[in-house]
Structure 1
Amino acid sequence: MSVESVNCPVCQSQSQYDFSSRDLMFNHYERYDYFKCINCLSVFQNPMPSDEKINSFYPTNYSVFDAKSQARKISPLKEAIYYIKHGYKHLKPNFFFKQVATIVAPFYKADKPDFIKNGTLLDVGCGNGRYLNTMRLLGWDVQGVELNENGVKVCHAANLPVHHGDLLSASFPDKSFDVITLRHVIEHVRDIHPLMAELARILKPRGKLIIETPNNQALGHSFCGANWYANDVPRHLILFSQTSLSLLGAEHGLRMLSCRFETSPKIILNSLDYITKNEDKPSKKIIWKRFLARFYIWKAQRRNQGDTIHSVFVK
């Protein structure tokens, strides 16, 4: 493929055509082109859509904004793991679960930041507030930002302090937060550098920025191509690699402290449904396909090509 004069939104290098696809989740037929940067390997929609067009990508039944999956009480075992592994000493789990947690904690992938007493945490793109509510239960002073009105209403009904709008319109003071999380949000953002500059401004010195996003170098992306579920065309505007995330952070004074790759059966099973145009029994309910997904997970993890990047940056 020839290199074209389309600049990468992350590093401004040249790019080349990568793939074209449509909205497979909602079965729409308009097609969207994606280009790949020859330098940082970012994959991005070209041309980038307008604000009005982006809004049209999210129907009213987009499930992340409903109230059905609100946070539940944290299990005693998870409390014990957080106590042992992440410094949540105020949780005081009982003796039995502490003993079990001592055994399983080394194999448990960290999905919560280390606890900071009186720590402030911001979740950008907080959806229905499930994660915010969990972190509040764990003792954090939480705030959220959410564009979707329905999501904000659900958060406010749960008494969560959530700003309706984008991050810049929230106008937080400098150095406000110990931890900021973007969990499957950054891939939905068109103007990525203003966002990162604002995150760096409101993060405290030595504060942590946690970003989870699809990994465009995933084994599933290689195997499924345009039918990879995590492409989520057209809602995902930029698909990142570890390289592009690291470059993006460094541009704004944020150093990548750690990066790991995670995989779950959901993405490969839904991708198989897209490939086979399965409209009957979903793959997740077919036993042999679930076994196949387990093999895929093993293979992807062994090759360090999981579907999701979990990265931590420090200011």
Structure 2
Amino acid sequence: MERGNCAFCREDTEADVFLLGRSEGRPFSYRKCRGCGLVFLSPRPDGREMRSYYAGEYYGQGDCKFRPGLEIFRSYFASRRVRRVQAFFPGPGKALDIGCGQGTFLQLLREKGWECGGTEFTPESAARASRRGLPVAVGEFDPERFPRHAFDLISLWHVLEHLRDPRRVLASLPGLLKKGGIVALSTPNMESLQAEVGREKWFHLDPPRHLYLFSPRTLDEKMESLGFRLVALYHFSLEQNPYGWLQSLLNLAGLPENSLYGIL
């Protein structure tokens, strides 16, 4: 285990414990930065220990994370994201998806004429996207592995909360974007009603994999401090919100933690 801190203010971990979470019976503490209000995990597993929390069962079996029937819905939600981001561009461009998973979003973009590539943390997960014919860089995101000012779109779908140093990653993105390029991302909302009701039983808390928890305010402030300008903000996700409510309420009712997710 190692000490965590606010990746943006570099405040020490002496901040008060904001929220306690558990994973497989093990307690974890989230703290709120006194400087900016960002919530972060501390102490947290070091890099080597963290890999055990991304073991095979986290990514599912075979080429899919979930059962085949559910993957149909996931493809539908990915197609909605494709339509949403395409609305900002006059035509196809070049995209990089950080934490691309099995590559569904990139595959759908490619079918629309985009040139696509991705990154993935583990070789096992990267192999799924590679089998779709997508170029995937394996390991923690390293901007030096990519050409400068080459991408029209860089996406991070539920990735930001997993990063050990989100500031470093976000600060590197302007150097990879073309002029007029866009960063599209999604992350759990720490100030949502679902988070307030669920507290330590909130499904999207997910310690220790979620190292940082943002609110719309903290995310906007951090992005703006790095030179980004907000062009659109959405608070509701049909893919995440209904299921997040259901699993959080089941957790609060005393069922085994995230048991429905395990079945899916």
TM range (shorter): 0.7 to 0.9
Q: How does 1:180-191 map to 2 (within 5 A)?
A: 180-191=154-165
Within 2, Cα distance between the matches of 1:124 and 1:169? 11
Partner in structure 2 of residue 20 of structure 1: 20
Within 2, Cα distance between the matches of 1:52 and 1:283? 29
Partner in structure 2 of residue 43 of structure 1: 39
| Aligned amino acid, residue 277 of structure 1 | G
TM-score, with length taken from structure 1: 0.70
Partner in structure 2 of residue 213 of structure 1: 187
Q: How does 1:101-112 map to 2 (within 5 A)?
A: 110=84, 112=86
Partner in structure 1 of residue 123 of structure 2: 149
- Check the 8 A contact 1:173/1:202 in 2, yes or no: yes
- Check the 8 A contact 1:66/1:128 in 2, yes or no: no
Partner in structure 1 of residue 63 of structure 2: 67
Within 1, Cα distance between the matches of 2:181 and 2:62? 31
- Check the 8 A contact 1:272/1:283 in 2, yes or no: no
SS in 2 for 1:214: coil
Partner in structure 1 of residue 101 of structure 2: 127
Partner in structure 2 of residue 8 of structure 1: 6
SS in 2 for 1:210: strand
Q: Does 1:276 align with 2:253?
A: yes
Q: Aligned pair count?
A: 245
1:64: how far off? 6.2
SS in 1 for 2:191: coil
Partner in structure 2 of residue 114 of structure 1: 88
Q: Which has the larger radius of gyration?
A: 1
1:41: how far off? 2.5
- Check the 8 A contact 2:152/2:177 in 1, yes or no: yes
Partner in structure 2 of residue 260 of structure 1: 234
Q: Does 1:198 align with 2:172?
A: yes
* Ranges in structure 1 where 5+ consecutive residues have no aligned partner: 1-5, 87-109, 285-315
Partner in structure 2 of residue 55 of structure 1: 51
2:114 to 125, 135, 140: 140
- Check the 8 A contact 2:45/2:208 in 1, yes or no: no
- Check the 8 A contact 2:18/2:31 in 1, yes or no: yes
| Aligned amino acid, residue 206 of structure 1 | G
Residue 49 to residue 121, structure 1, CA distance change in 2 (3 Å): same
1:251: how far off? 2.6
| Aligned amino acid, residue 162 of structure 2 | H
1:170: how far off? 5.6
Partner in structure 1 of residue 30 of structure 2: 34
1:252: how far off? 2.0
* Greater displacement, 59-68 / 192-201: 59-68
* Ranges in structure 2 where 5+ consecutive residues have no aligned partner: none
- Check the 8 A contact 1:146/1:164 in 2, yes or no: yes
TM-score, with length taken from structure 2: 0.82
Cα deviation, 1:158-212, whole Å, max 9, x if unaligned, reads 1111111222166211101001000000000111221112212101122100110
1:7: how far off? 5.0
Within 2, Cα distance between the matches of 1:265 and 1:155? 27
Cα deviation, 1:95-142, whole Å, max 9, x if unaligned, reads xxxxxxxxxxxxxxx365534434001100001111111111122111
- Check the 8 A contact 1:48/1:190 in 2, yes or no: no
Partner in structure 1 of residue 133 of structure 2: 159
- Check the 8 A contact 2:157/2:185 in 1, yes or no: yes
Within 1, Cα distance between the matches of 2:178 and 2:166? 20
SS in 2 for 1:134: helix
